[in-house]
Amino acid sequence: MSKLQPVRGTHDILPQEAAQRRAAEQALAQVCALYGYGEIQTPVFEFSDVFHRTLGDTSDVVTKETYTFTDRGGESITLRPEFTAGVVRALISNGLQEQLPFKVWYHGPAFRYERPQKGRLRQFHQFGAECIGAESPLADVQMIAMANQALAAIGVAGATVLEINSLGDAQSRLNYRAALVTYFNSRKNLLSEDSKMRLEKNPLRILDSKDENDRQLIASAPRGHDYFTSEAKDFFAEVQESLSMLGIAHQVNPRLVRGLDYYSHTVFEFTTEALGSQGTVLAGGRYDRLVAMMGGHNLPGVGFAAGMERLLALQEALGVSAGETARVQVAVVPVDEPQERAGLELAQMLRAGGIASELITRGNMGKKMKRAEKTGAAFVAILGETELQTGHVVLKTLADGKQEIHARSDLVQYLKTL
């Protein structure tokens, strides 16, 4: 009898690795809790249309990599190759499109039939988060900040570099698509066969090509930022300025793209040189057209996903492990738009201090306070024009309505004494 082996591209998670994985997942989840995210668990398989509709019938994932089969009822079923589509399907089918923003994190196995190699398996595991219903660039900033803090919580942030780019809005993307079609059509005979097909279906995906000849053409291709609308330029400027305000180092990579049509505005990746060729450890971006594409409302979204195998390999390479827990929850409420960036800075300061916080920016003051109460926060930190100028904050205790004025710089220490 031949020796039993796991299926190629899978591996057994033995107790020592399981303990390391669990510690990392708990640390990542605790950071997400600081930002007001709850856990979601979607099925490991979905109707194939969930993924085919979102990933596109011509994408490599759908044409070459999905585990798709017909079940006994005659339905086409696909093991999930990624989580975002399933999360959006859950939002729609559970009638949650009015409960916004919808902020969830997830972890679990996903499946792609591809050539197994170090850090890349056919059954792999992802940790990620999605925020649906938030259109402000501050939502992108907070998603990136949460990802950065999550990597720090498991001790690997220092070995990563944050690369960001913008795909612009819908009109920007149309402008850029037309420029790419013109450019690559004039060089069509030099393109790989895959890229020739992409030129007809989705020319932006040519920019993802790994073919060496394609890469040489891509180096001289038009750049997306040259085709942005003024609104798209302002959106990306706000993201960059806010990241800098929070002290989150980043570099713009104009070649960082997403080929799928529903992506827009911010895309980002945390990369490392510690794992050889498998350099991306966490990637994300904004997808303002995905929910509508799947038959839901026209809702914006932003999220990220990280491969657990790569995160654990990076931990091992660096000789580190996970930590940190959450304590108090505070709702940060800027009175008006001019105080929103200071509110973001305050919320980030609280989270960095281990205090769970929620930044509330939508609606008038009455609606903001009602939303603050719904978060279950013990305190509301209110920032008005006076507080913005003086460096203070009004701290309201929701249990008894008591209000105190504190210096913003002292707030973390004060809350930790309670």
Q: Of how many residues is the chain composed?
A: 418
In the DSSP assignment, the letter for residue 277 is T
pLDDT for 323 beyond 50? no
Q: What would the pLDDT profile of 250-296 be if each residue is shown by its tens digit?
A: 999 988 887 677 889 999 999 999 988 778 999 999 999 999 999 99
Range(s) of the chain covered by CATH 3.30.930.10: 15-169+228-318
Report helix angle 308-318 to 15-34, nearest 10: 100
Mean pLDDT, residues 399-406: 95
Specify the pLDDT at position 310: 93
Q: Which residue has the tokens 């690369």?
A: 163
Question: In the CATH scheme, what architecture does the domain 329-416 have?
Answer: 3-Layer(aba) Sandwich (3.40)
Best-predicted range by mean pLDDT (45-54, 145-154, 199-208): 145-154
Angle at 40 between CA 368 and CA 91, to 5 degrees: 65
Domain 15-169+228-318 class in CATH = alpha beta
Using CA of residue 257, residue 263, residue 265, residue 270, what is the dihedral sign? negative
User: Could you tell me which of 54, 79, 64, 57 has the C-alpha nearest to residue 113?
Assistant: 64
CA 161 to CA 319: how far, in whole Å?
A: 19
pLDDT band at 326 (very low <50, low <70, confident <90, very high): very low
Specify the pLDDT at position 59: 53
Mean pLDDT, the chain, integer:
90
Range(s) of the chain covered by CATH 3.40.50.800: 329-416
Q: What would the pLDDT profile of 55-92 be if each residue is shown by its tens digit?
A: 765 455 555 788 999 999 999 999 999 999 999 999 99
Best-predicted range by mean pLDDT (14-18, 206-210, 376-380): 376-380
CA 132 to CA 143: how far, in whole Å?
A: 11
pLDDT band at 29 (very low <50, low <70, confident <90, very high): very high
CA 77 to CA 66: how far, in whole Å?
A: 10
Contacts of 337 (CB under 8 A, 6+ apart): 361
